[in-house]
A and B are shown apart, each in its own frame.
Chain A
């Protein structure tokens, strides 16, 4: 049994120190996902939410998947739930249909080396979600379709849209 596996069991049994070790093992990936899905300003808070929720739900971890896979799914659901809430707020209060991401300041640099992460932040909602899940996190279109409650074809078209928008950003 690996140290990480043992820590999962100890944490499920209420051992906060074991859960802290799990946190340190997995926080880079969770925080990376948060930065790309919700942006750097809110990534810290969402990352904390993910680990608190994971602590609460540890007893539902069935062990038939790797803990990292389970945790990542928890993280994706937290991010998507947050984005959905924010999207509803925008619909309620914003006078424009233009996604918030699109009105953010475009990176000043036009060099090839423009930060990819900054460019991702400029993507519109669904395109951003699909791009992060598919091209960065490795999800397949049918999985993304389930997560986002969209058609597989929509996932594919949003991915292409995201890539083309990023091309504009990164090669302008």
Chain B
């Protein structure tokens, strides 16, 4: 009988042996009752380990935790937190985003120059450019929805002239902000008394307007 392959039994259970090693262990196991016993014991331990149940502590720990929550150095504004969760982009995507701004600028120049000649021919409305400044009061008004709708219309009108990846990148950024806004609105619906959520909502909307303004300001300065 060959030497007991005890040291390899765990790897055998975990499926980490090569085909040759596995065959060797199995051939030994066919004729070695001792190793069969060890293998069965080890398998039993693995099964028992995986079936261990988690249970809450016997005593309440929350009180002690709550007393230490003040150790937190600062409360990070929700919109800042969301900003850190922005999807990361590859270098080609970042390059595409940069190209997007240039293309937007060039397209805007083209549109502005030809628009001066064509008059009202259905080109993107100047009113689509969001205002330079927006107060919280304005943000809470219908002006916000109007500005967003106008911007989306502008982006849609240019989208067929832009690289699809570029449009996707711009839309991905806006989508992240939209998700944050949706979640805050949902939280507000659940708890309208949480006044800090209104601040978060205003900030998130302001961020969206900032993104739109950064994009359209290039159009504005190119005219």
Identify 26 residue pairs between A and B in the complex whose beta-carbon atoms are under 8 Å apart, listed by A's number. Answer: A1-B183, A9-B78, A12-B76, A12-B78, A13-B77, A13-B197, A16-B66, A20-B62, A27-B57, A28-B56, A44-B59, A52-B68, A52-B69, A55-B72, A56-B71, A56-B72, A59-B81, A117-B52, A131-B49, A156-B16, A159-B10, A160-B7, A160-B9, A160-B11, A163-B45, A167-B41
**A6-B190 in contact given A14-B75, A135-B49, A163-B46 (Cβ < 8 Å):** yes
Q: Check A136 against B49 for contact (C-beta < 8 Å).
A: yes
Q: Check B10 against A160 for contact (C-beta < 8 Å).
A: yes
Show the binding face of B for A, using Cβ within 8 Å.
6-7, 9-11, 16, 38, 41-42, 45-46, 48-50, 52-57, 59, 61-62, 64-66, 68-69, 71-73, 75-78, 80-81, 84-85, 183, 186-187, 190, 194, 196-197, 200
For A171, the chain B residues whose CB sits under 8 A away are 41
For A100, the chain B residues whose CB sits under 8 A away are none
Q: Cα distance A13–B195 when bound, in Å?
A: 12
Nearest chain B residue, comparing its CB with the CB of A131? B49
Q: Check A27 against B46 for contact (C-beta < 8 Å).
A: no
Chain A proximity of B20: nearest CB distance (Å):
18
**A47-B61 in contact given A9-B187, A29-B54 (Cβ < 8 Å):** yes
Chain A proximity of B39: nearest CB distance (Å):
11
Q: Cα distance A12–B80 when bound, in Å?
A: 10
Interface range on chain A (Cβ under 8 Å from partner): 35 or more
Count of CB-CB pairs between chains A and B under 8 Å: 120
For B69, the chain A residues whose CB sits under 8 A away are 16, 19, 52, 55
For B45, the chain A residues whose CB sits under 8 A away are 135, 163, 166-167, 170
Contact residue among A6, A20, A32, A48 (Cβ-Cβ distance under 8 Å from B187): A6
